[in-house]
Amino acid sequence: MSRNLIQVKPEKFPWLDLNRYTFSMGVEHRGVAYISGQTGSAYDKESRSVLCKGDIVEQTKVAWEKIGVILEAAGMAYTDIVRTVDYVVPRGFPLYRKTGDVRRQFLGKSPIASTGVLVHSLLRPDALIEIQAIAIKGGKEVVIPVGPEYERFKELTYAPAVKAGGKLFFSGVVELEPTTAEGQAKACYTRIDKTLQAAGASYANVVHIVDYVAPMTVEHYDAMAAVRQAHFADYHPSLNASVFHSILNPRGHLEVDVIASLTGKREEIMVPGWEQSYRKLGSVPAVRMGNLVYFSSQASIDHTTGKSVVANYDLGAQARQAYQNLRQVCSAAGVSMDDIAYTLELVPPTVMGDVRVLGQVRREFFGTSFPAATGLIIHQNMRTDTIFSVVAVALA
């Protein structure tokens, strides 16, 4: 791992043996910490195995307790959290709203940007929720656009967006009206426009977009992507677009996550020969602003041809190709794999029985200097000829 990054290693972590995993609980760099997705898993002496017990409310409490221990080891506190993502499985969804009370217990009145989305399942089959967090020291500022439709946020434990450390984190943006996929995308970007303006920012500051796409929407995704491209005009973000089990509200076609940097010179990273592939997507392999590099998701694609380079559905082979692509983008961005602070790995349910091979792939590319990480079972990749994708963040 780069000498700039610090692996966060709690002295005591009573739930799990941390030496067994190919990821760090957290990675910190100059007051910025990325925390791996946390579930309610804990070692059970009676069964001599790791289990997630209880309903989603009980599991959420354990996950937040873990986050607190990791934050403390990084010299931080709950009040430093600026963003979380809740990955929820369908079995846990009926009680999901009650997890807001748990969040209040740990955060108090400290607001954050927050996104929630339904996944097919988590890597631990008995887990009902996984929570990933970002924390930044030095204070934060809530961003609430002017207008009556935003008044409700003053009573919630999350805000439309949060500024901290020269960065801007959005809560997931969902609009349920109109009912068409393209119409909802337009409504999402109308709200994104207002929030950027309220933060004193523009699309020139946006480094990363996540499109959480509902299965019913896949055939309309090109129209929604065209909406995004029209708003960015002369700029191109890094992008992760994946098909999840569902948006939290089943009437939603799309949820959009936005991350922006308010400081530093913007640099859009392109790998020679990949231009045609990314022109179609309206994105770039990575965007760098200052010490922050956000990467587009990488799969087993040869971007010079746009074709998958792994003919069979071999998860290990596809993961290796995706990480080789990521390594190429790192080189173009002037960073190395050692600078990667966080990865998000996505696989469809058809290969979930093979996910243990991913640990070996991570060892090949990271050695023992593992970044923080989250792994998810989603509905499918946008391209059905791929069964693995990885998204990454580097702090150089």
CA dist 102 and 193 (Å) reads 31
CA dist 40 and 298 (Å) reads 29
What is the sign of the dihedral through the CA atoms of 232, 233, 237 and 242? positive
Task: Report H helices in 52-198.
Answer: 56-73, 99-107, 181-198
Cα pseudo-dihedral 35, 110, 395, 169, rounded to 10:
110
State both tokens at 369. Answer: 């200097």
CB 330 within 8 A of CB 394: yes
3-state helix, strand, coil in the chain (%, to 5): 35, 30, 35
pTM of the entire predicted model:
0.96
Closest CA to 40 of 15, 70, 10: 15
State both tokens at 20. Answer: 């067994």
Three-class secondary structure of residue 190 per DSSP: helix
Query: Beta-carbon neighbour count of residue 232 at 10 Å?
Result: 16
CA dist 116 and 78 (Å) reads 19
pLDDT lower than 50: segments of the chain: none
CB 318 within 8 A of CB 348: no
CB 371 within 8 A of CB 343: yes
Closest CA to 192 of 163, 165, 220, 231: 231
Spell out where 30-176 has E strands. 32-38, 41-44, 49-52, 81-88, 113-118, 121-122, 129-136, 141-143, 161-164, 167-170
**What's the pLDDT at 313?**
83
Q: What's the pLDDT tens digit per position in 177-210?
A: 999 999 999 999 999 999 999 999 999 999 999 9
CA dist 210 and 216 (Å) reads 18
**What's the pLDDT at 311?**
64
Domain 1-139 class in CATH? alpha beta
Closest CA to 81 of 110, 55, 101: 110
Query: Beta-carbon neighbour count of residue 343 at 10 Å?
Result: 24
Backbone angles phi, psi at 89, to 5 degrees: -90, 155
CA dist 57 and 80 (Å) reads 23
**What's the pLDDT at 1?**
63
Three-class secondary structure of residue 98 per DSSP: helix
Backbone angles phi, psi at 388, to 5 degrees: -155, 140
CA dist 19 and 318 (Å) reads 26
> What 8-state DSSP symbol labels residue 144?
-
**What's the pLDDT at 351?**
83
**What's the pLDDT at 152?**
85
CA dist 117 and 379 (Å) reads 12
**What's the pLDDT at 146?**
85
CB 170 within 8 A of CB 226: no
Half-sphere exposure in the Cβ direction for 85 (13 Å, CA): 27
Half-sphere exposure in the Cβ direction for 301 (13 Å, CA): 25
**What's the pLDDT at 306?**
87
